[in-house]
Structure 1
Amino acid sequence: MLVPRPHLSNLLKREQHRLQLLSAPAGYGKTALVHEYLQGLEQPGQVVWLRLGGRAQTLESLNSALASAFGVAADAVLALLGSGKVGTEPPLSRAGSLLHGSTVNCRSTLACEEAIASHEDSKIRLVFDDLPAELPTDLNHWFDQLLSLHNPHLQILVTCRQRPDWNLPRLMLDGQLLDLQARHLALRPDEFEALINAMAPDTDTASRERLWHQTGGWCAGVRLLLPLALGDAGSSLLGQYLDRELLSRLSEDQLEVLCGLAHLSKASAELCEQLWEGQQAGRVFNSLLQCQAFLVPVDHQPGWFRLLPLVAQPLQGQLSPGPLNRLRLRACQLLSVLGHVDDAVEQALCADQPEVAANYMERLWLSWILGERHLNTLMDWRERIEPQLLQSSPRLIYLCAKALLFSGRLDEAQECLLRLGRFVPLPDPQRNRRLLANWQGLFGTLHALRGNTEQASLHCRAALAVLTHQDWLSVLLCHCILARIAMQTGDLTEAQALLQSSLELARRQGSHESEVLVNTDRVRLMMLQGELSQAQALLRTELKRMTGNRTQPCSLLGRLMFLHGELLLQLGHTDEAGQVVRAGLVAVRDCCAPFVLNGYLLLSELASRNQEREKAHLMLYEAERRMHWGKIDSACYEGPITAQKARIAQREQTAPTRLSVVPDYQDDLTPRELSVLKLLAEGMSVREVGSHLFISQNTVKTHAKNINVKLGACRRTQAINSAKAMGILA
């Protein structure tokens, strides 16, 4: 089953370097990608495809095959390629054979005889498919000579499982190397979904989530594991595949270290060196990296890698309980020293040491919860650690309460916050005031999520009067809550000042995750102010930063994508909005935070605008299911879902016959039109509205006319009633 990968094939077309190197373990679609790239070229030129099959090669066998393909003597191959002058006879007729039965296939699937015979393009492309891991010294030297030839029309494409021992740094410095590795070749979430839909479209959401977590975008892994996910255990060839493609190629030392890594969430050469003292485990770890043993880089943590879960699982039964627990506890200590506290917590829990895990949790930065999928991780820890341990200190209570608030589990968050009373008063008056202020900041957030804006404002302002720079995250949270309240009440100047202060605070603390959250509110403010181009520019900047070097999806990225979809919808780009929102839902497939609701609301609105009533209601049903599954408080989702249902119902009531003109619902109200509508709903006259907004009466009338058209109304009162039914007006 072939999934088109235009972003990669286009990259190969765009980056026309001397060497295009695709280096990854088996099953990452390297050969298929080269096929797709060459098939997409208008003029591929002369293509010679050598299928090496990973088998040992010699300089003589490889040189002889190329000489046969070009119809020259073996010692003239480099000179020929350096000059770029090839014979006019199609090389397919002169294809020779390589050692161990490999063949030269110049056709591949490209039907390239016509391109070669016509010679409209003088480009020469040599494809070395599945280059063996070990090459003799003289053959490596030959490749270095080949790559140093001064022929601008020569291009080398290599697929391999282990990076060759060539002068790659020099090629990179000369701008002559495109290096695609496993992290680039792994399926993206949308490609993963396309593959599942093609192979087994009825696969449920939970199975898809497990498959994604276990395979990490490894194409062959998805295809091997999918029958298991569907309950067809007999068709699984996973164990045989791993034995053949990986384990049989490793030494005893490599196998020992790899079996240990199967129990760790991540590892580095330094960690391995200390875990297996006296065994040169750092060198062994590097050799595993070199031979592409399914160790994938950890995002934004240079030098750290994790073993693909699908590969780790079959190896986890190799260690007996005693040595395994010693390994886990040693790893727990080392990871905490190296600053990876969350991984230390996980190892302590796996070693059945919840007290140790709770002790390490106290060392976590409070802003840690904002990044990656850490919210899900913390909620999982709460299920595995006894409640009395999580209630043993104010810091742990604060951390858990914040996680519960962000997860929309408001009743549990309130119970958690009330437990802070057991620690009040503290002996130190200043610490006691700060503890109460942090408590008030979270309580203000709780009230805001429940819609009690007055109480939320009182708590947040009281907290800000006491909080210090040490409590910067609580300060930022209070500022954001107050800014959202200001936006709801129309005080956009106050909102802008609060968000600007929050942005500066996040930047000074070096917290990119906090900066992203603040910028989502800034985008909403820009949308209210009618500054749509500025909002779009800021969103694009953040999306680019979030997707730059990331291999795994994350909740912050999904939040940005939903906001981007909302902005696109407001701009009238409905098709693009749908694509962005659906991609966002894929990125947050296993996230249980309330903001996931936004994606389903947007898809429901898109379906409603397209007069797809059943689909619009289905999206709302799915939204409710996700909220129930995440145990999210009804205050976080009932209001928005009810408003969307009213919006759909209003459209149905005003639906046109076969005879009348279809009302234009393609554009939402602009921020200015919304301001005019709110003032008219308060009973102001046209003159009063103009005076209040500093615009002319004619401008007010124009806005009122546009409002009527967009809401399908004939009169002002009808427009106001429609807006209330749709949830536009409270």
Structure 2
Amino acid sequence: MLVPRPHLCDVFHRKPCRLQLLCAPAGYGKTSIVHQYLQGIAPPGRVVWVCLGGQVQTLADVRGTLAGALGVAVDELFAFLQAGSLLPEPSSSRASSLPQLTAFTCGSELARDEALKANTFLSTENTRQPGPIHIVFDDVPATMPDDLNHWFDQLLALDNPQLHIFVTCRQRPDWNLPRLMLTGQLLELNARQLALRPDEFEALVEALAPETDAPAREKLWHDSAGWCAGVRLSLVQAQPTPLLGQYLERELLSRLSQEQCEVLIGLAHLSRANADFCEQLWEGQQRGRVFDSLLACEAFLLPIDLQARWYRLVPAVAQALQKHLSGAALNRLRLRACHLLSVQGHVDDAVEHALSADQPEVAANYMERLWLSWILSERHLNKLMDWRERIEPQLLYSSPRLIYLCAKALLFSGRLDEAEECLARLGHFLPMADPARNQRLLANWQALFGTLQALRGQTEPARAHCRAAIECLEAEDWLSVLLCHCILARLAMDTGDLEQAQGLLDQSLELARRQGSHESEVLINADRVRLMMLKGQTSFAQALLRTELDRLTHTQPLPLLGRLLFLRGELLLQQGHLSEAEVVGEAGLLHVRDCCAPFVLNGYLLLAEIASRNHEPQKAHLLLHEAERRMHWGRIDSALYQAAIARQKERMLAREQPAESGKASLARIGGVPDYQDDLTPREVSVLKLLAEGMSVREVGNRLFISENTVKTHAKNINVKLGACRRTQAINSAKAMGILA
């Protein structure tokens, strides 16, 4: 099954170079991508495909194969490629032995068959036409003799702009690549760039196993990290034969030395590694050098950070290799890694390794060393919730710091009853001997309890607790201060006090920046975008959101990015761009596929509203059903989703039924819809005056705004209510309970 990957083909189209180098482990679709690109090139010119099969080659083999494919003598090969003249017709013997093909192989019979099967589109009909020459060297071996490397350097140095060379390999060749890079003649794609994107992953699963449910898809996406072969093999793993393990035995382990295999199998049990770490982990065995060799031969090691300071194995590869090490030897490795990682500041990884070694006491001890701001990265939220299932409660409640950490995780996950029970445990540490510490403990408790009250909709107690907490919190409690400010700002927005919300968010933003907390800054800016939307400052909201999206652009699932994409979808919806909003909303859901948090609901509400406006009621209701399932799955408190889903259903019902029926239905529920793109206070004021029969000028005079501003508000009102005319908007607003 071939997944179209036009964005990668576009890379080749945008930057035609002398050398297009695709260097990645087996199964990343290197050959198929070149295949797709060559099918669509114009003018087609001549394509010669040489499959080397990853096997050791001689200079004579490669030169002879290429010369035969082009129909020239070996001694005339470079002169012909340099001249770029009309291409000769292949000899009759060559044409008869390989009819209608220009695919040749220097490898095994199996490689030859695969090459011919994969390249049947390469015809000899255009062999005498002028145009570019495309030479593909497929599966170049990791090591080659010096004379062959020198020959490739000469080939790449030929002065013919019509000559384009494609190379697929699993290890970067020992050629003069820096020279090509400096002259702009090198285009290089690695495993990260070749990995499947979320939409491509979904297309592959739909084609091979459409019955795969959402949790299974989420796990497969995480485990495969975009590795195409890993996805395909895992989808048929239900069969007794362990296909993935067999594939790695043949395509990876068989090509490595014993030392490399030993280190790789150890890395299969570790969350991160680099050369220095391996040198310390396997002390005195020069394993740092072995690690570097594994990097060079593309052994499925992916960088964790942008600076490539740490690496990890693709999870699916790691899981398949873990069977090779077990028992006491494995526990010794894990505990040694646990100590080294904690020393280097990777406390969360140390916790994970301690749990894997069946040492929950050690894990709880390391958890106390985590910064409380660590939890703001939403991937960490899932990790902490998993730890809670694996560590005994008495260990998790053994210190105030651990209780704070767990309580915050539960609050952010929407599990409010559990959070309240957790906070009650702080009472076991009161009173403390030191009055100052006693006051700080109470203040931090109030910050969390105020957050809990706000999430339950208890506005006044929430305000009281948050304000009292701010008075007593110290500089080192900046995260609790930040939490209180954000909660108070959201409460202010809910009650229409937008200026107070602005001031609180400004304070929060400054505090987050001074603490260097990027995650906090992004979350605060999300609230600022919401505030700008309430104020009708659409252009400012768009600019701020665009800035944050640019900073967070990522090919792998990132819940924080999903949250921003939902906001982007709401802005597009406000402007009436339904199709664009739908695309953005669906992309956001892909980024939160493995996240259990209340904000995931926003994506489903957005897409349900779009479906409703597109007159697709069945799709809209199915989306709300899926949203409710996700909330149940995450054990999220009903107060955080039931009312919102009910109000969205009423909005949809108001569109599906006559106005009076919809209005009667809203008496049943009570309350006003609060979907994210509801009318701002100013828009409600404009609509009320228009409903009284006032003209645009009269509304402007009453509200002290210009006529153009009134017209802008009226346009936004129509878009939000799905109306084309003023009377239709007024009737819809009455049906929804916005107007009495």
Q: TM-score, normalised by structure 2?
A: 0.89
**Superposed displacement of residue 34, structure 1:** 0.6
| Match in the other structure for 2:614 | 610
| Match in the other structure for 1:662 | none
The one of 338, 348, 353 equivalent to 1:342 is 348
C-alpha contact (below 8 Å) 2:654/2:736 kept by paired residues = no
Judged with a 3 Å threshold, the aligned counterparts in structure 2 of structure 1 residues 720 and 185 are, in CA distance, closer, same or farther, namely closer
Q: Secondary structure at the match of 1:50?
A: strand
The aligned amino acid for 1:68 is: G
| Match in the other structure for 1:47 | 47
Q: Does 1:554 align with 2:558?
A: yes
Cα distance in 2, alignment partners of residues 453 and 319 from structure 1: 55
| Match in the other structure for 1:659 | none
Q: Secondary structure at the match of 2:187?
A: strand
Residues 622-661 of structure 1 correspond to what in structure 2 (within 5 A)?
622-654=626-658
| Match in the other structure for 1:124 | 133
| Match in the other structure for 1:191 | 200
Judged with a 3 Å threshold, the aligned counterparts in structure 2 of structure 1 residues 16 and 537 are, in CA distance, closer, same or farther, namely farther
| Match in the other structure for 2:292 | 286
Q: Secondary structure at the match of 1:55?
A: coil
| Match in the other structure for 1:208 | 217
**Superposed displacement of residue 403, structure 1:** 0.5
**Superposed displacement of residue 721, structure 1:** 3.4
Cα distance in 2, alignment partners of residues 357 and 166 from structure 1: 48
**Superposed displacement of residue 674, structure 1:** 2.8
Q: Secondary structure at the match of 1:139?
A: helix
The one of 227, 250, 258 equivalent to 1:218 is 227
The one of 459, 466, 469 equivalent to 2:465 is 459
Which has the higher mean CA deviation after the structures are superposed, 564-573 or 68-77?
Answer: 68-77
**Superposed displacement of residue 496, structure 1:** 2.3
C-alpha contact (below 8 Å) 2:87/2:128 kept by paired residues = no
The one of 244, 251, 262 equivalent to 2:250 is 244
Judged with a 3 Å threshold, the aligned counterparts in structure 2 of structure 1 residues 117 and 334 are, in CA distance, closer, same or farther, namely same
Judged with a 3 Å threshold, the aligned counterparts in structure 2 of structure 1 residues 36 and 80 are, in CA distance, closer, same or farther, namely same
C-alpha contact (below 8 Å) 1:673/1:704 kept by paired residues = no
| Match in the other structure for 2:670 | none
Judged with a 3 Å threshold, the aligned counterparts in structure 2 of structure 1 residues 703 and 594 are, in CA distance, closer, same or farther, namely closer
Which has the higher mean CA deviation after the structures are superposed, 271-280 or 80-89?
Answer: 80-89
| 1:65-90 C-alpha deviation (Å, 9 max, x unpaired) | 22223333323323333343353436
Q: Secondary structure at the match of 1:642?
A: helix
The one of 519, 523, 538 equivalent to 2:525 is 519
| Match in the other structure for 1:312 | 318
Which has the higher mean CA deviation after the structures are superposed, 432-441 or 251-260?
Answer: 432-441
The one of 704, 722, 729 equivalent to 2:735 is 722
| Match in the other structure for 1:64 | 64
Which has the higher mean CA deviation after the structures are superposed, 215-224 or 232-241?
Answer: 232-241
Judged with a 3 Å threshold, the aligned counterparts in structure 2 of structure 1 residues 422 and 596 are, in CA distance, closer, same or farther, namely same
Which has the higher mean CA deviation after the structures are superposed, 148-157 or 17-26?
Answer: 148-157
| Match in the other structure for 1:378 | 384
**Superposed displacement of residue 111, structure 1:** 4.3
Judged with a 3 Å threshold, the aligned counterparts in structure 2 of structure 1 residues 703 and 375 are, in CA distance, closer, same or farther, namely closer
**Superposed displacement of residue 222, structure 1:** 1.3
Cα distance in 1, alignment partners of residues 642 and 144 from structure 2: 64
Q: Secondary structure at the match of 2:323?
A: coil
Q: Does 1:176 align with 2:185?
A: yes
C-alpha contact (below 8 Å) 1:681/1:720 kept by paired residues = no
**Superposed displacement of residue 63, structure 1:** 1.2
| Match in the other structure for 1:593 | 597
**Superposed displacement of residue 312, structure 1:** 2.0
Q: Secondary structure at the match of 1:156?
A: strand
Task: Give the % identical residues.
Answer: 66
The aligned amino acid for 2:129 is: S
Judged with a 3 Å threshold, the aligned counterparts in structure 2 of structure 1 residues 675 and 64 are, in CA distance, closer, same or farther, namely same
Compute the RMSD of aligned alpha carbons: 3.1
Judged with a 3 Å threshold, the aligned counterparts in structure 2 of structure 1 residues 715 and 331 are, in CA distance, closer, same or farther, namely closer
Which has the higher mean CA deviation after the structures are superposed, 641-650 or 94-103?
Answer: 94-103
Q: Secondary structure at the match of 1:397?
A: helix
Cα distance in 2, alignment partners of residues 409 and 688 from structure 1: 50
Q: Which runs of 5+ in 1 are unaligned?
A: 657-666
C-alpha contact (below 8 Å) 1:124/1:154 kept by paired residues = yes
Tell me how many residue pairs correspond in the alignment: 710
Q: TM-score, normalised by structure 1?
A: 0.90
Q: Secondary structure at the match of 1:125?
A: strand
The one of 402, 405, 414 equivalent to 1:399 is 405
Residues 554-573 of structure 1 correspond to what in structure 2 (within 5 A)?
554-573=558-577
| Match in the other structure for 2:488 | 482
C-alpha contact (below 8 Å) 1:80/1:86 kept by paired residues = no
| Match in the other structure for 2:10 | 10
**Superposed displacement of residue 700, structure 1:** 6.3
Q: Does 1:621 align with 2:622?
A: no
Judged with a 3 Å threshold, the aligned counterparts in structure 2 of structure 1 residues 173 and 458 are, in CA distance, closer, same or farther, namely farther
The aligned amino acid for 1:477 is: L
Q: Secondary structure at the match of 2:596?
A: coil
The one of 116, 140, 156 equivalent to 1:147 is 156
Q: Does 1:302 align with 2:313?
A: no
The aligned amino acid for 1:323 is: A
| Match in the other structure for 1:693 | 703
Which has the higher mean CA deviation after the structures are superposed, 702-711 or 440-449?
Answer: 702-711
**Superposed displacement of residue 310, structure 1:** 2.0
Q: Secondary structure at the match of 1:128?
A: strand
Cα distance in 2, alignment partners of residues 143 and 520 from structure 1: 52
**Superposed displacement of residue 582, structure 1:** 1.5
| Match in the other structure for 1:663 | none
The aligned amino acid for 1:722 is: A
Q: Which runs of 5+ in 2 are unaligned?
A: 661-675
The aligned amino acid for 2:215 is: A
Which has the higher mean CA deviation after the structures are superposed, 489-498 or 553-562?
Answer: 489-498
Cα distance in 2, alignment partners of residues 702 and 554 from structure 1: 35
Cα distance in 1, alignment partners of residues 243 and 616 from structure 2: 43
| Match in the other structure for 1:108 | 119
Cα distance in 2, alignment partners of residues 422 and 640 from structure 1: 37
| 1:186-244 C-alpha deviation (Å, 9 max, x unpaired) | 1112111110111111111122122222222211111111123xxx4236522321211
**Superposed displacement of residue 498, structure 1:** 2.2
| 1:109-157 C-alpha deviation (Å, 9 max, x unpaired) | 44454554332xx322221111111111111111122223333332221
Cα distance in 2, alignment partners of residues 729 and 202 from structure 1: 46
Q: Does 1:21 align with 2:31?
A: no
| Match in the other structure for 2:175 | 166
Judged with a 3 Å threshold, the aligned counterparts in structure 2 of structure 1 residues 51 and 702 are, in CA distance, closer, same or farther, namely closer
Q: Secondary structure at the match of 2:472?
A: coil
C-alpha contact (below 8 Å) 2:86/2:129 kept by paired residues = no
The aligned amino acid for 1:266 is: R
| Match in the other structure for 2:580 | 576
Cα distance in 2, alignment partners of residues 545 and 193 from structure 1: 25
Which has the higher mean CA deviation after the structures are superposed, 215-224 or 331-340?
Answer: 215-224
Cα distance in 1, alignment partners of residues 557 and 659 from structure 2: 40
Cα distance in 1, alignment partners of residues 228 and 170 from structure 2: 15
C-alpha contact (below 8 Å) 1:48/1:106 kept by paired residues = no
Residues 367-516 of structure 1 correspond to what in structure 2 (within 5 A)?
367-516=373-522
Judged with a 3 Å threshold, the aligned counterparts in structure 2 of structure 1 residues 244 and 421 are, in CA distance, closer, same or farther, namely same
| Match in the other structure for 1:363 | 369
C-alpha contact (below 8 Å) 2:302/2:314 kept by paired residues = yes
Judged with a 3 Å threshold, the aligned counterparts in structure 2 of structure 1 residues 678 and 333 are, in CA distance, closer, same or farther, namely farther
**Superposed displacement of residue 311, structure 1:** 1.9
| 1:442-501 C-alpha deviation (Å, 9 max, x unpaired) | 222112211222222222222222333322222222222222222222222322222222
| Match in the other structure for 1:660 | none
C-alpha contact (below 8 Å) 2:498/2:531 kept by paired residues = yes
Judged with a 3 Å threshold, the aligned counterparts in structure 2 of structure 1 residues 263 and 699 are, in CA distance, closer, same or farther, namely closer
